[in-house]
Chain A
Amino acid sequence: MEALIALIVGVLTACGVYLALRGRTFPLVLGLTLLSYAVNLFLFVTGRLTVALPAVISEEAAGYADPLPQALVLTAIVISFGMTAFLIMLALKARAELGTDHVDGQRGGSGPR
């Protein structure tokens, strides 16, 4: 199971990095979203894998998953939404001001279709 998770984190990172290296804003945002999936997943599993033991206190529970990484990742997910939103607005603003959606704001770019 650990290998599967490692594989998933790896694939998400690779896809995220490739997209982040593209030259247009939209793929860049997609790439960063993929990367944040990978990072959140990684942070989450630093609490190690525990099946069917949620961190909700009850008398019957046999044990609990580590709640700390979960709490960290919960806010991280919300914050990554905030970041994605800010980034995509920046992309829109750049499109409006520079007339292109190239990340460096150059090379002509394509106008509105």
Chain B
Amino acid sequence: MNLLFVVLIPFMGAGLAAWMAGFGRLQSAWMAGGVTLTALLVLLPAAAPSFIGETVIQRVPWMPRLGLDLVFRLDGLGLLFVLMILGIGLLIILYARYYLAERDSMGRFYGYLLLFMGSMLGVVLSENLILLLMFWEMTSLSSFLLISYWQHREDARIGARMALTITGLGGLALLGGFVLLGEIAGSYDLSVILASGAAIRAHPLYPPMLVLILVGAFTKSAQFPFHFWLPHAMAAPTPVSAYLHSATLVKAGVFLLARLFPALSGTTEWSVLVIGTGLTTLLVGAYFALFKHDLKGLLAYSTISHLGLITLLFGIGTPLAAVAGIFHIINHATFKASLFMAAGIIDHECGTRDMRRINGLWQFMPYTGTLAMVAAAAMAGVPLFNGFLSKEMFFGETVTFSASHTWEWLLPTAVVIGGILAVAYSLRFIHDVFFNGDPVDLPKTPHEPPRWMKVPVEVLVAACLLVGMLPAYTVAPLLDMAAEGVLQAAPPDYDLAIWHGVNAAVLMSIAALIGGALVYAGRRPLFALAAQLEGRLDAKAVYDWVLKHVLASADGVTRGLDSGSLQRMMLVLVLAALTLGTAGFLSAGAPLTGDRALLPVDPVSVLVAVALGVVAVWTVILHRRRLTALIVMGALGLLISLIFVKFSAPDLALTQLSVEVVTVVLLLLALYFLPQHTPTESDRPRRIRDIAAATLAGVGAAALTWAVLTREYDSIADFFLANSVPGGGGGNVVNVILVDFRGFDTLGEISVLALAGLGVYAMLKDLRLPGPTWDVRDRPWNWDMHPTIMAALTRLLLPLTLVVSVFIFLRGHNLPGGGFIAGLITAVALIMQYLANGVEWTHERMKANLHPVIGLGLLIGLLTGLASLVLGYPFLTSTFTHVHWPIIGDFELASAIAFDLGVYLVVVGATLLILVHLGLMHDASHVDAAATQRPRSG
């Protein structure tokens, strides 16, 4: 279980850290640090077995039917990454506390950082591919938030969007790859996948799967040609950059290569793609790094270059190369994090990151300078620093690998060129910044940073030195453990000694060091050359071009489809439905009429049908006179409830009847604010076209109904009919379905109703519309008070109606009725008061706020469901019992009645909320109008 908590703690801590910011800037930092430490402590019980090479797998059921569980694994590779994520994370938290300015929101920063940390932990601890992908996407989203932390800066927003676009696209490719991989392996669990490497590599779908997964990994780890988002992500605060570049985000890509190494590596496709990409990235990154004038830009491109190096190592595919890859991941994390922090200090102290202006800082900050020099030496691969060891292994591996291939000199030569450039840009970082004359026009005078801001850098630099000088006593066990996790087998023999005697690797290292020094010495002509080429080799330009054209074409498609006319879209919709329906009918080749026995026609039904048809057509004919059309339409609803009565649906008839009343009242109130007439706008051909479309739609609907009605069918009704009394404890099957069998649906439906009510309230809240002062025939509007007889009558009727609604509610489980109908009846009864007595009068007597009623209804519905969950039954399971009450007799008590009460409250609340607020708006316009108009009318 503890692995689940390791992942969850940062997510929960994110909220806490953001909340703590309310108590002061430092509290948030303390909280973030505490959360990270807690996660480390929780990890400990599982860490020991992984350290000796066991794999810990913990499974928490989540969606077992989909085969998706919260299943986590911890082995050597996972443990290494967790330690880096949490360890470096802790240093970053400390550093950021000094880095962030007074006006930057600490809570937001640490909140985002912890979200990101949790997502990264999820990626490295997931055992299931789908789970891994979810966390993968979450790293993309949370890094978007981190990069765009300074939201007021345009470059931050652009950089964040670019990172999200590229890594998001990669995530999509990865999803495709994972689905293929899961289907090939027959399981989405890594344990199965890692054990069935041979079968996976022999599968015909292996090449497309590999390409998709690699696209995912390469976009994340900023490999060529997707590398350009990383330098633009520099717009993030420096602690974020330090974290993203060292232990996290971009390392997720190489983590994936390492994770799937046993399953995917060792084929020609793998070697060609991964080596090719890695080598290109190594060289391209190193080239751009040398010529960047921005301090962080140099580091960003060097990160790209080093990631290329690691990718290249995994591409070589031998166990020893994988060990070297892991080793370089560790080393790169330490020196790159410290370099970024040093760059952040310099930026912080100088107010600029331009290396043409920052010179000679040695005289101002020698201590920081020393730290930076150690880290830069590690980056360059100078002996006695950690970068040297892994680079030497890297050089050695390229030579061994090339020996068995044609053009054996090519790869070693290329990587030596990469090494030369690395030495040159590391030299530039040190020489240009700390020496090389005096500073040029700096905004601030630099001095050493606060004591504790340097501590994280010191810790990391110490690690660089210790690993570099005493590898066997420091990094060896960690490396062994991680290598075993990657290879899923005992790691090969390797020697971490600093001196192995003269061999190809040492010669290559020496060549790189000397060559780098020479290149840096002769940098001026090279810089001039690079300045000429600048802008021509910009992948961002390609990205912008593609993005622009994709957006433009999407715009074009939208404009082509949508002319902005609702009428036309409606027509297209109707015609499309007709076309599809006709095509479906014709292609099915079935006769229109089925063979079910028909019911005989009786005269009353014919009468109702004729009336219905006449009224419907009449509504259309009269539709320009809105009030008349509305009243005629009211009759339609009544006729339809007659149909429900006829065909054995008393519940529906009751519902339709009461809904009809509320609907007509609602539309009448609304009509007050709308023009009373519809002007003639469409010309004759257009009306004929619309009539034709409408007729066709009508014919289609009629044919469909006929076809359905004349066919036999298999109903699942028998189940409900048989189980209604024994299972649901109610005789009214319709009501039992609503509150019991399909209670979850009903909960959703009352939520929709509640939302509609609240949405209407939100729209009406500040709406001011003038009411009419003249009626349809240009007579002044009548301001008579409410009719006395009606007012008196409704007041008398109110208790009676309420009793009826209670009755309907209570009997609903066994006889027609229930929460929906009772709610509507109550609503109608109350609305009658508003109509007859006026909104003000009623409002004075019924002050109840309606929002809590809706909320209470939803809460009751939800709690009834949760209660059964607490008692160990599925959500919304109901129970019932029979109680004997004196006088009343045997009475049944079902828990579903509580749920029905929730339904009742929501229906009453939402209906009243809508109508009362419309009525209030009425009154508001009424008062204004009355004030100005009364003298004329009275």
B679 CB-CB contact with A under 8 Å:
yes
Q: Is the interface of A mostly helix, strand, loop or mixed?
A: helix
Q: How far is A65 from B45 in the complex, measured between Cα atoms in Å?
A: 62
Contact A67 B760 (CB under 8 A): no
Contact A86 B759 (CB under 8 A): yes
Taken residue by residue from 72 to 94, chain A's Cβ proximity to chain B (1 for < 8 Å, 0 otherwise) reads as: 01110111111111101111110
Q: B930 to chain A: closest CB distance in Å?
A: 16
- Which 5 residue pairs are nearest across A and B when measured between Cβ atoms? A14-B698, A10-B702, A82-B756, A18-B694, A13-B701
22 contacts between A and B (CB under 8 A): A4-B605, A6-B705, A6-B706, A11-B616, A13-B698, A13-B702, A18-B620, A23-B681, A27-B626, A34-B633, A44-B652, A45-B647, A45-B705, A47-B715, A55-B648, A65-B649, A70-B652, A74-B652, A78-B907, A81-B659, A82-B757, A89-B918
Once A1-B598, A104-B564 are accepted as A-B contacts, the answer to whether A74 and B820 lie under 8 Å apart by CB is yes
Q: How far is A84 from B648 in the complex, measured between Cα atoms in Å?
A: 27
Which chain B residues border A29 with CB–CB below 8 Å?
667
B101 CB-CB contact with A under 8 Å:
no
B674 CB-CB contact with A under 8 Å:
yes
Contact B738 A75 (CB under 8 A): yes
Q: A54 to chain B: closest CB distance in Å?
A: 5
Once A20-B570, A30-B619, A77-B659 are accepted as A-B contacts, the answer to whether A85 and B636 lie under 8 Å apart by CB is no
Q: A24 to chain B: closest CB distance in Å?
A: 5
Taken residue by residue from 608 to 635, chain B's Cβ proximity to chain A (1 for < 8 Å, 0 otherwise) reads as: 0100110011011001001001100100
Which chain B residues border A82 with CB–CB below 8 Å?
752-753, 756-757, 910
Contact A68 B716 (CB under 8 A): yes
Once A77-B652, A95-B769 are accepted as A-B contacts, the answer to whether A23 and B567 lie under 8 Å apart by CB is yes
Which chain B residues border A95 with CB–CB below 8 Å?
673-674, 769
Taken residue by residue from 720 to 746, chain B's Cβ proximity to chain A (1 for < 8 Å, 0 otherwise) reads as: 110011000001111001100010011
Once A15-B619, A18-B694, A56-B816 are accepted as A-B contacts, the answer to whether A45 and B709 lie under 8 Å apart by CB is yes
Q: How far is A85 from B675 in the complex, measured between Cα atoms in Å?
A: 18
Which of B656, B698, B710, B749 is within 8 Å of A10, CB to CB?
Answer: B698
Contact A8 B612 (CB under 8 A): yes
Q: Is the interface of B mostly helix, strand, loop or mixed?
A: helix
Q: A39 to chain B: closest CB distance in Å?
A: 9
Interfacial residues of chain A within 27-44, with CB under 8 A of chain B in the complex: 27, 29-30, 33-34, 37-38, 40-42, 44
Q: How far is A42 from B716 in the complex, measured between Cα atoms in Å?
A: 18
Q: B453 to chain A: closest CB distance in Å?
A: 53
Which chain B residues border A84 with CB–CB below 8 Å?
663, 666-667
Residue of A nearest to B907 (CB): A78
Q: A108 to chain B: closest CB distance in Å?
A: 10
B871 CB-CB contact with A under 8 Å:
no
Contact A14 B598 (CB under 8 A): no
Taken residue by residue from 65 to 92, chain B's Cβ proximity to chain A (1 for < 8 Å, 0 otherwise) reads as: 0000000000000000000000000000
B678 CB-CB contact with A under 8 Å:
yes
Contact A104 B599 (CB under 8 A): no
Which chain A residues border B494 with CB–CB below 8 Å?
none
Q: B616 to chain A: closest CB distance in Å?
A: 4
Which chain B residues border A89 with CB–CB below 8 Å?
670, 759-760, 763-764, 914, 918
Q: How far is A18 from B616 in the complex, measured between Cα atoms in Å?
A: 11
Which of A21, A85, A103, A110 is within 8 Å of B571, CB to CB?
Answer: A21
A interface residues with partner B (beta carbon < 8 Å): 1-15, 17-27, 29-30, 33-34, 37-38, 40-42, 44-58, 64-68, 70-71, 73-75, 77-86, 88-93, 95-96, 101, 103-104, 107, 110, 112-113
Contact B605 A17 (CB under 8 A): no
Contact A15 B616 (CB under 8 A): yes
B interface residues with partner A (beta carbon < 8 Å): 564-567, 570-571, 574, 596, 598-602, 605-606, 609, 612-613, 616-617, 619-620, 623, 626, 629-630, 633, 636-637, 640, 643-644, 646-652, 655-656, 659, 662-663, 666-667, 670-671, 673-679, 681-682, 690-691, 693-695, 697-706, 708-710, 713, 715-717, 720-721, 724-725, 731-734, 737-738, 742, 745-746, 749, 752-753, 756-757, 759-760, 763-764, 767-772, 774, 814-816, 820, 824, 907, 910-911, 914, 918
Contact A78 B655 (CB under 8 A): yes
Q: How far is A103 from B673 in the complex, measured between Cα atoms in Å?
A: 16
Contact A68 B623 (CB under 8 A): no
Residue of A nearest to B709 (CB): A2
Q: How far is A83 from B738 in the complex, measured between Cα atoms in Å?
A: 20
Once A10-B705, A19-B623, A66-B717 are accepted as A-B contacts, the answer to whether A92 and B769 lie under 8 Å apart by CB is yes
Q: How far is A45 from B643 in the complex, measured between Cα atoms in Å?
A: 10
Contact B652 A73 (CB under 8 A): yes
Which of B605, B708, B710, B715 is within 8 Å of A66, CB to CB?
Answer: B715
Q: B853 to chain A: closest CB distance in Å?
A: 16
Q: How far is A9 from B725 in the complex, measured between Cα atoms in Å?
A: 34
Which of A18, A44, A90, A110 is within 8 Å of B690, CB to CB?
Answer: A18
Q: How far is A91 from B662 in the complex, measured between Cα atoms in Å?
A: 18
Which chain A residues border B824 with CB–CB below 8 Å?
78
Q: A9 to chain B: closest CB distance in Å?
A: 4
Q: How far is A74 from B571 in the complex, measured between Cα atoms in Å?
A: 29
Q: How far is A111 from B907 in the complex, measured between Cα atoms in Å?
A: 35
Which chain B residues border A68 with CB–CB below 8 Å?
715-717, 720, 737
Which of A8, A11, A25, A74 is within 8 Å of B655, CB to CB?
Answer: A74
Contact A93 B732 (CB under 8 A): no
Q: B587 to chain A: closest CB distance in Å?
A: 22
